[in-house]
Copies of this chain bind each other. A is one copy, B any other.
Amino acid sequence: MFEFTIRLDSLSVRPLYEQIYDYIKEEIQNGGLSCHERLPSTRKLAQYLDVSRSTVTLAYEQLLSEGYIENRPGSGFFVNDLEGLYKLSGEEEEETSETKQIKETFLYDFSPSGVDLESFPHNAWRKISRGLLMENNEDFYQLGNPEGEEELRKTIATYVHQARGVRCRPQQIVIGAGNDYLLMLLNAMLGDDRVYALENPTYRKAYDIMKILRQEVKTVEMDEQGIMVDELEKSGATVAYVMPSHHYPLGTVMPAGRRLQLLKWVSSGKDRYIIEDDYDSEFRYKGKPIPALQGFDSNDRVIYLGTFSKSIAPAIRISFLILPMRLMKLYRERGRRFSSTVSRMDQKILAEFIRAGYYERHLNRMRSVYKSRHDTLMECLKPLSNSVSISGEYAGTHLLLTLKNGMDEEQAIEAARKAGVRIYGLSSYYINEKPRRDTVILGYANLDEKKIREAAKILTRILK
């Protein structure tokens, strides 16, 4: 059965697997596929659609967990009894259980977006929350300033200065509920007549968001030093979204020379800006910390984007923008119209958490936890030195393995999956271009050393 002529749109912001999932689900719902009908095997469908097998597997897994299809071991996938399917259609909650499902089927998950939550300083956080709850301060329940609580902004200004060499006044700081929201806000401020450039590969979500917000977006190739500034100039972009401290996903740390080139680019055109996403700059295990680009920018052109989601916990929905002075007028005219998205209570808890020194202690602890996971992983991967080359190490919470053993990305992912280990492909971070298919990503933030050793042992066997 090969009538799955799915029109896949590789330029769409929707992942391919979701497009496949949607197509099959709709076919089942409208009767195009009938009950107990057999689906093509993942291998055949992948071949037919010219996509990777893991893409089809992901789509099938979602359909499985939502009850649309069943897996009969040895015979393949079949459309399930339709009874009660209406209730399930489009239900987001099913998707949640689906996510759980996938997680549970992997013994070891090298998720690059993981965070070690066991180390979350529950006690300190709880103590501060309880203290503030006891205060019974009516002000906490009034709507605060659109830009956030002054107390938190002052604390952040001091912190980013000390830790990241950022030079700013508290007034330049805008607090918001996560990076996605702050990108939305920036977009509302900067208007339509900008051309954005993103590194290729890049943090896929930033790209998706800019496309959804209907911005003109270019991608610029990277070399081993980071974004290629000549290409950036040629692209005609006016706003460059970059991650100089530790690129995601490549792990590149941009050297001083390239930084200067980038700052030269931004100051040599009217209305040019850099958005510096400093998402995991806190974690660096070798060499001196490299200050943020913002600190070197004497032309007031860098928009700094920082977050506590990575360094504290993903559910702490607090990020911040540091705007150049020249954008303050625009912020007051447009940005300030949007009410604050973070409750005053949460802002006060975080401000106190930082002020009382808990944040610094937590960062030191996490740096040591992550360093030891990083070192363990590096050590355990040594037997692979002839079959993979490692990059992006010594910082952040993930590293990359480029395969020299003849396998491509999909094969490595599939082999690992069969052995209970989830690893990730680099190709999905590439946009609009033929991606590299020789590299996999291993995030180690959410695996303890014992698990890392066990998982690495499996990988060394598979990738040898």
Contact = CB atoms under 8 A, between A and B. Distances in A.
A395 B136 CA distance: 30
Contacts of A134: 126
A118 B141 contact: no
Contact of A143 (B125, B133, B315, B328): B315
Given A188-B212, A341-B341, A93 B150 contact: yes
Interface string A5-45: 00000000110000000000000000000000000000000
A378 to B, nearest CB: 27
A350 to B, nearest CB: 11
Nearest to A208: B337
Nearest to A150: B93
Given A129-B129, A141-B117, A212-B334, A339 B178 contact: yes
A324 to B, nearest CB: 12
A177 B337 contact: no
A213 interface: yes
Contact of A13 (B178, B179, B191, B333): B333
Contact of A213 (B177, B188, B333): B188
A144 interface: yes
Contacts of A342: 177, 317
Contacts of A14: 333
A188 B180 contact: no
A14 B335 CA distance: 11
A209 interface: yes
B212 A337 contact: yes
A262 to B, nearest CB: 27
A204 to B, nearest CB: 10
Nearest to A174: B92
Contacts of A180: 337-339, 341
B117 A136 contact: no
A208 B192 CA distance: 17
A343 interface: yes
A313 interface: yes
A406 interface: no
A288 interface: no
Nearest to A154: B93
B96 A150 contact: yes
A314 interface: yes
A345 interface: yes
B150 A341 contact: no
A314 B214 contact: no
A144 B325 contact: no
Closest 9 CB pairs of A and B: A177-B341, A143-B314, A141-B313, A141-B315, A180-B338, A126-B133, A177-B177, A91-B171, A117-B138
Given A13-B337, A92-B332, 9 more contacts: A126-B134, A141-B313, A142-B313, A144-B315, A179-B339, A181-B181, A315-B344, A317-B342, A317-B343
Interface of A: 13-14, 90-93, 95-96, 117-118, 120, 122, 125-126, 129-130, 133-134, 136, 138, 140-145, 147, 150, 169-171, 177-181, 184-185, 188, 191-192, 205, 208-209, 212-214, 309, 313-317, 325, 328-329, 332-334, 337-346
19 contacts: A13-B333, A13-B334, A14-B333, A92-B145, A92-B150, A93-B150, A117-B141, A120-B141, A129-B133, A141-B313, A177-B181, A180-B337, A188-B213, A209-B337, A209-B338, A315-B343, A315-B344, A317-B341, A341-B341
